Amino acid sequence: MTREEKSQYIDDLATRLSESGVFYLTDTAGLTVEAVNQLRERCFKNNIELRVVKNTLLKKAMEKVEETNYEDLYGVLAGPTAIMFAEVGNAPAKLIKDFRKKNDKPLLKGAFIEEAIYTGEENLDFLSEIKSKEELIGEIVGLLQSPAKNVISGLKSGGNTIAGLIKTLSEREA
């Protein structure tokens, strides 16, 4: 790779990092070609972009992104590294956990999710359990609707009871 190609690659990777709110750094070394192809296929189906990157170029790209500080991830940039870009924060973690039912890798090196940095394999279970933005919004809407539904239901049933009482009383007087 020429110096110009490296510079262009770093610029492209820096742009991708700055545009993405979610990415995971993994170790896929030791996987067979067949296993890597299966992983790529699962990533594609789950709208996750998988790239194998050189650590030095990735670090330079991270340093180039001015609006975010990735320093906590520099320590995991050793050995083979694959980066997974996703739209949903827990999607790569779920995919990794599911894929590891039949394989011993990929291993989680680190993750960047909406300004938060997680390092180490021990965070995989936690990351797979966090809720996506859409799931949280759905829960909040459900919680907000619940009291309103109860009030409306109470008014409807109470209204029927009151109307029934008034009708019965008016019929009695006649």
| Distance of alpha carbon 134 from alpha carbon 100, whole angstroms | 26
**pLDDT value at position 6?**
87
- Report CA-CA distances (Å) from 110 to 23, 99, 137: 9, 17, 26
Cβ contact 22:49 at 8 Å: no
Q: Tell me: pLDDT of 35 over 60.
A: yes
Question: How far is Cα of residue 15 from the mean position of the Cα atoms in its chain?
Answer: 19
Q: What are phi and psi of 103, to 5 degrees?
A: -130, 160
Residue 68's nearest CA partner among 109, 12, 17, 123 is: 17
Helices (H) and strands (E) counted in the chain, each on its own, are: 6, 5
Query: What is residue 23's DSSP assignment?
Result: E
Query: The whole model's pTM is what?
Result: 0.74
- How confident is the model over 32-43, as a mean pLDDT? 91
| pLDDT at position 68 | 85
**What is the arithmetic mean of pLDDT over 13-40?**
89
pLDDT digits (tens, 9 = 90+) for 131-155: 777 777 887 887 777 776 666 666 5
Give per-residue pLDDT as tens, 106-133.
999 999 988 888 888 888 888 888 777 7
CATH of domain 3-130: 3.30.70.1730
Task: Tokens for 89, please give them.
Answer: 């924060």
Average pLDDT, the chain: 84
**Domain residues of the chain, as ranges?**
3-130, 132-174
pLDDT: which is higher, 156 or 36: 36
Q: Can you state the angle between helices 33-45 and 91-99, rounded to 10 degrees?
A: 140
88 or 155: which carries more pLDDT confidence?
88
Q: Which amino acid is at 72?
A: D
Contact 51, 99 (CB under 8 A): no
pLDDT of the residue at 124: 84
